[in-house]
Structure 1
Amino acid sequence: MSEVRLLAEKAGLNKVTPIELSSAGNLIIHLDLYPIVARIATVISKEDADHAYQILDRELRAARHLHSKGIPVLLPSDHIDAGPYDIGGTWATFWKYVPPTQLKPPSPSEAVELVNTLSRGLKDFSDEIPLLGVWERACQSAKRLMKHPDQRIQALLNVFVKVDRQMRFDTSLLIPCHGDAHTRNLLPSTEGWIWADFEDLSLMPVYWDLASFVGNLALYNGVQEPTFRYVLSQINNGTDLEAFGFAITARILMSTLGNLDFALAGNGDLAFACKQLELADDFIHQIDLIIQRNGGVH
């Protein structure tokens, strides 16, 4: 906190009162008196400081690019240079503060349009984007879980190996994606819903961001979940349906194995991870059945 205050004072921001908003993953601090939030990348900085700088620098450029395209995003601060800054070996960036706002949840059609608009905006983002970046973390989780005795985990890992092989078959087909476009990265603001958190920008399969958005909604609420059903209703050929099915299967595998790996290491919610594990295998099976019934080959 003190280092953040000192950095703010060097930038000419006086009488700052740092208020912690969140410490889950990144440390989020509101620099009270100013509409500025410090986002401190504690986890990725600890893993690899140089890589963390690259991620945060790219994240700032992605947000500015999307804003230039008219995409609703959380913006870097315009009160001070947004960074990245080295704060005691941990990298930080500064963003506009979005005060708590109540909004009606987007309807299925509105939610899908928000994701599709995001995807269109990223299409011509010209920065170097990691190939399968967010997926590679899942591969590390899968590797650590390989010797786990739980047969449910082993069953998912068998599917994971097949999906990973297909994921890498033709990387020329991968497209720029947010990487982690789930509901918690869609923030309510006075200007409507805005996208945030572009740390996981990656070249991923078609439909990845849409699968990220609806994946857990459908996993926990079943395949009759309204937004999931709306997505299916908008896909009118077997090839696209198969591509969406592949993306959502991969996304559920990544989320389930990643959360489980994280929780077993003592860093996450084990009850939540186990609940995902209970649901994932049957959900993936249901996705296969939907594709088969509707003309896909999966």
Structure 2
Amino acid sequence: MSEFMSPEQLADRTERALTAAAEAGRDLGLEVTEPTVLYDSFSVVVHLKPSPVVVRMPTVLPTFLTDLDTQSQRQRLELDVAGWLARQGLPVVTPSPLVPAEPVRRNGFSMTFWQFVEHDQSAEPDYVANAAAAAKLHHNLRDYPGQLSFMSVLDMIPSCLDELGAMPELIDAADLDRARAEWELLEPVLGSPEGFARAFPDAEVRPIHGDSPPFNMIPTADGLLYSDFEDPTLGPVEWDLTLVGPDGEAAYNEAAQALGMRTLDERLLAVLTSTRMLQVVACLAMVPQMPPMLDGLKEAMEHWRNLPLAGGLGEG
């Protein structure tokens, strides 16, 4: 039986993160008089008012990523990718120019510092337009010179499924059996570039965002900003376009063609959509760290159960 964090423990974690961000900001020479939590889910995000700086601290993570050295390594990559894109002229949320672009550790948290941007609260999300904008991001990311691993964003799946074996209160045996069977089909294809090339020889492997860029764009008075580069990886562009729907896919294809890029492979997109939903199922292992997300995950699992296993991989 897993021990779920209580509301009091969650509030205490948020308060400790807020204090750590403020203290670290002051140590770096920033004026911090009214630190304010902007967001609290998988990360705690703090605006160090009145400084135009936002701090992000991961707080809900797969077990294998809770080590601070591992977190810092991932955060350096995130800072590097966002900074590089900004230097290419792409509209992104940038690392703060007021402090070094390096992760900072404080009181058990590893944190990064970002330029504060004012969200346009009147803007309704337009995920179809965002999907089209993802093509420009992919076009620019193609030339990213840093070192990326192949589909590293999926490393959480086997680790979390192993942990879920000891969490019957979160997933029943039939669902866990399905999840394990699905990963057994997917891993030979998505576990290495060689396996992927055998299954999808016409799909290009390239630097991608890694975490659904159409759902990670921030509307501002000056336009959309790409954000949240926590999971950059090598992989097919289809991974970034899962769950955008037919209209989003069509918008991406039109924008991609205008940039001289290939359109989406429907068979690959189906396989990766199932993979994305399996990743959501794997997130159940993190529910003890954030119990309020359980209801949303249960709803997503209903959709997952109705999908073909592994997107039909291996059929026919």
Given that 2:119 and 2:218 are in contact with CA atoms closer than 8 Å, whether structure 1 keeps it comes out as no
Relative contact order, CA 8 A, sep 6+: which one is greater?
2
Partner of 2:302: 278
Residues 1:35 and 2:24 aligned together: no
Deviation at 1:104, TM superposition (A): 3.9
User: Aligned to 2:133, which of 107, 110, 114?
Assistant: 114
Paired with 1:19 and 1:265, the residues of 2 have a C-alpha distance of 22
Q: Do 2:43 and 2:57's aligned partners in 1 also have CA atoms closer than 8 Å?
A: yes
Q: Equivalents in 1 of 2:175, 2:253: separation in Å?
A: 28
**Correspondence for 1:191:** 222
Q: Could you tell me whether the CA contact under 8 Å between 1:100 and 1:188 is conserved in 2?
A: yes
* Residue type of the alignment partner of 2:149: P
Structure 1: any 5+ residue segments left out of the alignment? 219-224, 292-296
Deviation at 1:183, TM superposition (A): 4.5
Pick from 131, 141, 153 the counterpart of residue 134 of structure 1.
153
Q: Work out whether residues 206 and 247 of structure 1, in 8 Å CA contact, stay in contact via their aligned partners in 2.
A: no
CA distance in 1, matches of 2:81, 2:256: 28
Check whether the contact 1:175–1:205 (CA below 8 A) recurs between aligned residues: yes
Matching of residue 8 in structure 1 with residue 31 in structure 2? no
Q: Give the Cα–Cα distance (whole angstroms) in 2 for the partners of residues 192 and 238 of structure 1.
A: 25
Structure 2: give runs of 5+ residues left out of the alignment.
1-17, 198-203
Which deviates more from structure 2 when the two are superposed, residues 277-286 or residues 97-106? 277-286
> Which range moves more in the overlay, 234-243 or 56-65?
234-243
1:74–1:195 Cα contact (<8 Å) kept = yes
After the TM superposition, which residues 1-298 of structure 1 pair with which residues of structure 2 at under 5 Å, given as runs? 1-43=18-60, 47-101=66-120, 102-106=122-126, 108=128, 110-145=129-164, 149-168=172-191, 170=194, 174-211=205-242, 215=243, 217-218=244-245, 226-228=247-249, 240-255=265-280, 257-263=281-287, 267=291, 269-284=293-308, 288=312
Q: Following TM superposition, by how much is the alpha carbon of 1:150 offset from its aligned partner in structure 2, in angstroms?
A: 3.6
Cα distance between partner residues in 1 of 2:177 and 2:66: 27
Q: Supply the distance in 2 between the matched residues of 1:201 and 1:280 (Cα, whole angstroms).
A: 24
Deviation, structure 1 residue 52: 1.0
Report the AA paired with residue 177 of structure 2.
Answer: Q
Superposition deviation, residue 39 in structure 1: 1.4
Equivalenced residue count is 280
Cα deviations across residues 179-212 of structure 1 (Å, max 9, x unaligned)? Answer: 112554221122212121111112233411112x
AA aligned to 1:70 is: G
Q: Deviations over 1:148-189 (max 9, x none)?
A: 544234224322220122213525764222111255422112
Q: CA deviation at 1:113?
A: 2.1
- Alignment-mate amino acid for residue 125 of structure 2: P
Matched residues in 2 for 1:243 and 1:25: separation? 28
Deviation at 1:273? 1.3
Identical positions, percent: 21
CA–CA distance in structure 2, aligned partners of residues 14 and 265 of structure 1 = 32
Q: Distance in 2 between matches of 1:41 and 1:240?
A: 33
SS at match of 1:16: strand
Distance in 1, matches of 2:212 and 2:278, equals 16
Q: CA deviation at 1:261?
A: 2.7
Q: Match of 1:269, SS?
A: helix
CA RMSD across the alignment: 3.4
Distance 1:287 1:2, change over 3 A: closer
Q: Measure, in 2, the Cα distance between the counterparts of 1:6 and 1:38.
A: 11
Change (3 A) 1:241 1:36: same
1:246 partner letter: V
Closer, same or farther: CA 153–124 of 1 in aligned 2, 3 Å: same
